[in-house]
Amino acid sequence: MPSRRVLGDWLGVAPFFLFAVAFIFWPAMTLFVGAFRAPQGGFTFANIVALFQPFILDAYWLTIRVSLVTAVGGGIFGFLVAYAAILGGLPRGVRTVLTTFSGVASNFAGIPLAFAFIATLGRVGLVTVLLRDLLGLNIYDRGFNLYSFWGLSLTYMYFQFPLMVLIISPALDGLRREWREAANNLGASNMQYWRYVALPILLPSLLGTMILLFGNAFGAYATAYGLTGGSLNLIPILIGQQVRGDVLHNPGLGYALALGMVVVMAVSIAASAWLQSRTSRWIRRGA
């Protein structure tokens, strides 16, 4: 009787796990197996070794730079904005508006976001033209290009910093007023409160979210494609080209690229989850 009940219990969740196998794990496995398969069949590390050619290393390097800059930049900016809204002594409505706007902005990505930034910072974009006409500053003559590293980074920031606002807000809520009062009563200055109390509590959460932002930018395909039409040598763009037609002339190398991306994402999400759990322990203990 108990075994029948256990079987029944498992049947209840079977469709979900079957779906996960069919649409997540089986497709992922075929890529991973392909990454280690030689053209004639049999096991090989050649595809993984082939990742270390200059052309692909360049793509990894550019993707890492864009992800790093937008994760750190978007992270710090998002933190400051969230801090200002929650603990900056502003009217309560500011926070509600910020949360709503952040929810919209963090989901406003892909092709329409690329269009928005072309209209803003493209060659005839509003801000480009304003800077030229009002300040006599032609940013394109000064080396700026929307379709290159900094342009892409500025565009990614549009969904990166609101994501930081949304994720860090609960942690900021968890900073208890008593901690600040206790620190002040013990004679701590504002700087000391931050250096010894608030920052150590928030740091894992901040770092964890930044790593999440890193992964978020690392895997972004649609925005990059919409902006550059695939001309920028980024890892997601390379994978996309490989899917459309074997541009690398080596299917195995394409699978190795995909595997490399999943490894980067898995490491960053695991590190992020670990760091987040360290903060939530503090916040829960405090609450």
Partner 1 sequence: MGARRFWSWLWITLGALYFLVPLYATLHFSLQAKRGTLSLLAYQNVLADPQFYRTFAFSLQMAAATIVTGIVLIVPTAYWVHLRLPKLRPAVELITLMPFVIPAVVLVFGLIRAYSRPPLLLVSSPALLVGGYTVLSLPYMYRAVDTGLRAIDVRTLTEAAQSLGASWPTILWRVILPNLRVAVLSGSFLTLAIVVGEFTLAALLAWPAFGPYMALLGQNRAYEPAALAIMSFGLTWLAMGVILWIGRGRQGGPSELTGTH
Within 209-268, the residues that bind partner 1 by CB under 8 A are: 212, 215-216, 218-223, 225-226, 229, 236, 239-240, 242-244, 254-255, 258, 261-262, 265-266
Residues 125 and 155: their CA atoms lie apart, in Å, by 14
Cβ 17 to partner 1 shortest distance, Å: 8
Give me 85's structure tokens: 């809204």
Nearer to partner 1 by Cβ, of 201 and 224: the residue is 224
Chain centroid offset of residue 21 CA: 25
Does position 100 interact with partner 1 (CB under 8 A)? The reply is yes
Cβ 141 to partner 1 shortest distance, Å: 20
DSSP reduced 3-state for 220: coil
Binding mask 40-79 for partner 1 (x = CB under 8 A): -------------------------------------x--
Residue 209 and residue 168 in contact, taking contact as beta carbons nearer than 8 Å = yes
Backbone dihedral angles phi then psi of residue 121, each to the nearest 5 degrees: -120, 10
Cβ 271 to partner 1 shortest distance, Å: 12
Question: What part of residues 171-210 is at the interface with partner 1 (CB under 8 A)?
Answer: none
Cβ 2 to partner 1 shortest distance, Å: 13
Binding partner 1 (rule: CB under 8 A), the pick from 1, 7, 13, 134 is 13
Give me 286's structure tokens: 């405090």
219: Cβ–Cβ under 8 A, 6 or more apart, which residues? Answer: 236, 261, 265
Nearer to partner 1 by Cβ, of 62 and 113: the residue is 113
Give me 121's structure tokens: 């910072």
Helix spans in the chain (H) = 2-20, 26-35, 46-50, 54-87, 92-107, 111-121, 126-135, 149-173, 177-185, 190-193, 199-218, 222-228, 235-244, 251-286
Does position 80 interact with partner 1 (CB under 8 A)? The reply is yes
Does position 19 interact with partner 1 (CB under 8 A)? The reply is yes
Q: Which stretch binds partner 1 (CB under 8 A): 90-98, 179-187, 200-208, 279-287?
A: 90-98
